Amino acid sequence: MFPFPFAGLGIDHQIDINNFLSNYDNGFIQGNFDETKMLIDKESLSKEIHAYCDHVESSNTTTGWICGLGHGINKKTPEENVHLFIDIIRKRFK
């Protein structure tokens, strides 16, 4: 579906990553959690991360997927939110 000669693609949070996970088998897909959500309170963030994980899992494949934020991290992001993101992703996709 995507005949580009790239080793991988970075996907913004505004694009449905599942379209790429299901159709791009020539390299890796990186992305795409909305980095602005990293600024919300911890409880709300946890729900958002789990909803994101549920969506990614619904693609039926995570082969080649590198989890990341859409556009990096805001300098005001609480460190505890970064740890929460990493911990949930590691537990869900071990």
- pLDDT, one tens digit per residue, over 31-68 is 889 999 999 999 999 999 999 999 999 988 888 899 98
Cβ(84)–Cβ(49) under 8 Å?
Answer: yes
Nearest to 8 by CA among 53, 70, 64: 64
Q: What is the pLDDT of residue 21?
A: 86
Distance CA 36, CA 15 (A): 15
The tally of domains found in the chain comes to 1
| pLDDT band per the 50, 70, 90 thresholds, residue 3 | low
Does residue 16 form part of some domain?
no
Does residue 82 form part of some domain?
yes
Does residue 47 form part of some domain?
yes
Does residue 25 form part of some domain?
no
Does residue 68 form part of some domain?
yes
Nearest to 68 by CA among 23, 16, 33, 21: 33
Q: Which domain holds residue 70?
A: 31-92
Does residue 53 form part of some domain?
yes
Residues 6+ apart with CB under 8 A from 47: none
Does residue 10 form part of some domain?
no
Does residue 17 form part of some domain?
no
How many Cβ atoms are within 10 Å of 12's Cβ, its own excluded?
11
